[in-house]
Chains A and B, each alone.
Chain A
């Protein structure tokens, strides 16, 4: 993979446009204009990686991180320079990471992409239309009469623990800080598969504090849920 680009139209809206005026053309075939376009912004921080094309006949295909053998940066840029080691030492918190302005911008984009994929999956799998909150960060949904709050988190540096930590504060606030309406169940939707320890942590929170939490993460074109929910 040689580049990554972010689709710049409003999150969730169709990006296609037809260019009748000044479309690009092949130098050797100036009579053929490439009129079918989507507007993008190139990711200047992207680091190319090796990739085995699983569908060579297709010009456009859904990206499968498995084809990249773990080399794909599907979470966020985590170059060593982005971690303030001195601050981490002072805090005695190895997991603490400083997010640069650029990486925050990337996370917002990755967040929008995760939100699009999750909404699309809900619609295709269950025919459910998830309602995006005004701040466009969380989703509300109703499946078979049960209300859900979905809090979407990017695992910065593939660190699900930090993402869960961030989500828990938001879950409590979004469900209980007046005048919020409490949802019956909360889904913490991650862009990275959590580990067994993360799942144990969620199980403990559910058992000891009776918090109706579940973890959700993407596997291929599907989403997995822990613990399994009636709808999944």
Chain B
């Protein structure tokens, strides 16, 4: 998982580490609670790779899983 805003954005890893969380966001679901939604109900404006990432994050990650944190190379 990448904990960085966009391709060249801010590194959110330190903030996540301090809080004991992994976090994600994406427009236009900045302020949409996904808790009681079905994954098919995610705003259709969220497309392709972002949509898959949000599905994995919000529905697939389970207790007992482990998450590797990757540095996203801003020069890539």
| Chain A interface residues (CB < 8 Å from chain B) | 1-18, 20, 23-24, 26-29, 32-43, 51, 53, 55-63, 72, 109-113, 115-116
Q: Give CA–CA (A72, B71) in the complex, Å.
A: 15
Say whether A40 contacts B64, CB under 8 Å.
Answer: no
Consensus secondary structure, chain B interface: mixed
Say whether A113 contacts B49, CB under 8 Å.
Answer: no
Say whether A8 contacts B63, CB under 8 Å.
Answer: yes
Say whether B13 contacts A24, CB under 8 Å.
Answer: no
A12 cross-chain contacts in B, Cβ below 8 A: 62-64
Query: Closest 4 interchain pairs by CB?
Result: A112-B64, A11-B64, A9-B63, A59-B53
Residue of A nearest to B68 (CB): A1
Given A16-B57, A40-B21, A61-B53, residue A7 in contact with residue B67 (CB < 8 A): yes
Q: Give CA–CA (A82, B69) in the complex, Å.
A: 25
Q: Give CA–CA (A117, B13) in the complex, Å.
A: 26
Residue B19 at the A interface, CB < 8 A?
Answer: yes
A13 cross-chain contacts in B, Cβ below 8 A: 62-63
Residue of B nearest to A13 (CB): B63
Say whether B61 contacts A7, CB under 8 Å.
Answer: yes
Say whether B57 contacts A38, CB under 8 Å.
Answer: yes
Say whether A60 contacts B53, CB under 8 Å.
Answer: yes
Q: Give CA–CA (A14, B64) in the complex, Å.
A: 10
Pick from A9, A11, A16, A109: contact of B58, CB under 8 Å: A16
Within the complex, the shortest CB–CB distance from B15 to chain A, in Å, comes to: 4
Within the complex, the shortest CB–CB distance from A17 to chain B, in Å, comes to: 7
B15 cross-chain contacts in A, Cβ below 8 A: 24
Counting chain B CB atoms within 10 Å of each CB, which of A14, A51, A72 scores highest?
A14
Say whether A5 contacts B30, CB under 8 Å.
Answer: no
Q: Give CA–CA (A37, B57) in the complex, Å.
A: 8
Pick from B48, B54, B65: contact of A15, CB under 8 Å: B65
Say whether A7 contacts B30, CB under 8 Å.
Answer: no
Given A2-B71, A36-B54, residue A56 in contact with residue B76 (CB < 8 A): yes
Within the complex, the shortest CB–CB distance from B55 to chain A, in Å, comes to: 8
